[in-house]
A and B are shown apart, each in its own frame.
Chain A
């Protein structure tokens, strides 16, 4: 088993709000290996986006890492100072978000913005920075790099803006890209282009990608390995094909069964009863047990640990398997 590039170990993140403390991430664990696209998938409130922000230590407002470690090349990012993190952000770990329009400054040209980034990290002069920027624009398959360099963000379509964002994220040499719902705001035909680009970057440049999404189809087609998150925890993780085929955890199974493509036309869909917990009230035992059709008595008392089932690489947090083994 290859050494993990990024290893999240029992990470917990909490937010203090007027309504109480929200445990957005509650002992989450997974690894991203070098040169792979890893999918972190889950519905709203599962803590996936917060995890991404925690890795680069840009949690908003009152968010705090309250436990666990974030190991990047063996070093714990959670313990680093802000100064140390600044050396890592952009240069070694980069991030792109859902809405490229919000990330681009409308009063500067694209060129001015990417120039600024490159020169901040490498100290290059303007000419060198420009050359590198154009190379990256080529790498992200922008049709006319020079034109894009000279133009303003609002003149570009959403898909092109997202490509620019990816170029800006990677231009300083990052080896890990965290992409938080990078295609959710885009048309489906453009989404296909962006996903293809991510795969190409992985293949040609060896960049590892942590792809955060709620879309199981995206994960199925793009990610080698996946972790399914629920209520701030990982309930199942492993090779994508195995997880989607075996569906060990009842939540994984429920999620896949609820898709419109899971039933024949005319049949009722199979939703998961109840709703996602809001993180305010801690749930005793397994967070999914109130909605689980296969819940055992122990599920209401003990939160199951994430353990390998059958295969060392395919883990799930469910008493159904530990009970069976016992």
Chain B
């Protein structure tokens, strides 16, 4: 009796309705500025990776001085001129990108790695666990971020890795808060209750259901944070902690070029422009991602 009714359901596959992810990507690609931003980032990433091959002055990029040619203005042989030690500025920019970009990506990555699971645990379990985690988070959030990073960097000592750890430690609380808020609203969704009713252990629910579903807001926030992380890294390197010369970094390039800036702006200026372009690009990408991710602000949605 009911078999006839049931087989009336069409067995043919329904027309391909795009998934959420596809819709987000499509809306994102429509944002011209964001796509430009992606190009800029790709450019800097590639030039950083392939720096030794792209510049005729790899040694100078890495730090070798070339005093004879110091303070050369931008010209045919050195498109962006040379710095106070005669090193080709363009090469320094490429090599500096390695430090700055890596700082940005790794800091955000570490912050998410620490902060997201904590936020999910706090949000999912609530109660005492939530209180403890959020109070610790509040403590960290109370410090001015840059000062805290500087303090930790000073304590850990100078160096590239220590800088990244210092910044990551100041950054994770934001992700904890973000993920906790998302988790609290996700917790009420029926599929979480369904998993509980099946008897799936809590940590499995957090790992397989909660975290993957908060990926989008994390991605959006993370992209925008990349710019800020790079700026923070540049600031720390600027004051002399972190990356030490002769290793190239956009922050310490500005620092070292500061005193010469009025007459010979090209090496501090180039580094500043590089930071500006990269941070702007990440912001544009992040903005576009955020608008694309929210169905209400997404372009072209019915």
A interface vs B, CB < 8 Å?
15-19, 22, 60-63, 268, 271, 273-275, 278, 280-281
Contacts and interface: CB of A to CB of B under 8 A. Distances in A.
B2 A268 contact: yes
A281 B10 CA distance: 15
Contacts of B5: 268, 271, 273
B219 to A, nearest CB: 20
A275 B10 CA distance: 8
Contacts of B302: 15-17, 22, 60-63
B77 interface: no
Nearest to A280: B15
A61 B2 CA distance: 42
B300 A19 contact: no
Contact of A281 (B15, B23, B301): B15
A17 B15 CA distance: 14
B296 to A, nearest CB: 10
Given A62-B300, A273-B5, A19 B10 contact: no
Contact of B8 (A15, A18, A268, A273): A273
Contacts of B264: none
B1 A268 contact: yes
A46 B10 CA distance: 19
Contact of A17 (B8, B10, B301): B301
Contact of B300 (A18, A275, A280): A18
Contacts, number: 40
Nearest to A291: B8
A18 B1 contact: no
Nearest to A290: B10
Contacts of B17: 19
A62 to B, nearest CB: 6
Interface of B: 1-2, 5, 8-10, 14-15, 17-18, 22-23, 26-27, 300-302
A37 to B, nearest CB: 30
A268 B18 CA distance: 36
26 contacts: A15-B302, A16-B300, A16-B302, A17-B302, A18-B22, A18-B23, A18-B26, A18-B27, A18-B300, A18-B301, A19-B17, A22-B302, A61-B301, A62-B300, A62-B301, A62-B302, A63-B302, A268-B1, A268-B2, A271-B5, A271-B8, A273-B8, A274-B8, A275-B9, A278-B14, A280-B15
A136 B205 CA distance: 52
A78 B18 CA distance: 32
Contacts of B10: 274-275
B5 to A, nearest CB: 6
Contacts of B22: 18
Contacts of A281: 15
Nearest to A275: B10
Contacts of A60: 302
